[in-house]
Amino acid sequence: MRMRFLDTGICCGYYNMALDEAILQLRGENRSPDTLRFYRWDVPTVSTGYFQRVEREINVKYCQEKGYKIVRRPTGGRAVFHNDELTYSFITGKGNPLLNKDVITSYREISRGLLLGLNSLGIPVTTQDKGGDLKAVDSAACFDTPSWYEIVLNGKKLIGSAQTRIKDGLLQHGSLLLSLDLEENLNILNLNQGQREKVRKILKEKATSLSGEGYDFTYEGLKKRLAEKMAENFGVEGYWGELTKEELELAEKLYREKYSQASWNFKK
């Protein structure tokens, strides 16, 4: 088997999500290869989990005033403030044994590729071997507690990921924080003062970034090493490729008809 690596550069949040879904759909139909994609965001963006109630949990007015986009992900989980980070998506499908494994097992196997990549750069990350107590954290923020097999550094969450599946397809995407703007992570949420102080304390204790732990790596350097080690993790040949015409056309359609629409991003 082979794994295609992509770097699709800086795009708006709507298009980033459209592209993830486009590749997922086509991989499920065996019309795209297994893919590890890296991407960035044109402006700070709040991505929300598929099941979140955006207007209740997100400070929409603040985001609009700051020019931040809000986009609903096709995956579950909670809100992520995308700014200074490396974002990845891992997409596979029919023919890959990973598809026959449960969610926690597949998380563990994908996380192992990320772990190998960061460890090879001298970053002593580990995986969270059990999920955090979500009931103890009444917050819409993703980075306030690690979930099963997410990547932690010095006991704090460094990469937050989410997964979804379709028939014959699997998508996992996540954010590796290069830096963490704690106050802005609070500002984008609907929090009263008491909640804000509680979540601030939790984020300080539970979330971190590479720069916050004293590491200084470029996006390019991280991307190349993560790609190399993800392919090694799954025992496949990796190669840098390009998006296909079919992927671009489907992504544009999903961008136009779904991810740029308020009916999707703010649905109840």
Residues that are catalytic: 142
- DSSP-assigned letter for residue 249: H
Distances from the Cα of 5 to the Cα of 118, 129, 216, 239, angstroms: 17, 28, 23, 6
Closest CA to 62 of 199, 188, 192: 188
Residue 91 pairs in a beta bridge with 35, 171
Would strands 80-82 and 169-177 be described as parallel, antiparallel, or unpaired? Answer: unpaired
Residue 80 pairs in a beta bridge with 47
Could you tell me which residues come within 8 angstroms of residue 262 by beta carbon, excluding any fewer than 6 positions away? none
Distances from the Cα of 61 to the Cα of 66, 72, 169, 186, 246, angstroms: 9, 16, 36, 14, 37
Q: Count of H helices and E strands in the chain?
A: 9, 11
263 and 147 in contact (C-beta within 8 Å)? no
Count of positions (residues) in the chain: 268
The four Cα atoms 101, 103, 105, 108 give a dihedral, to 10 degrees, of 140
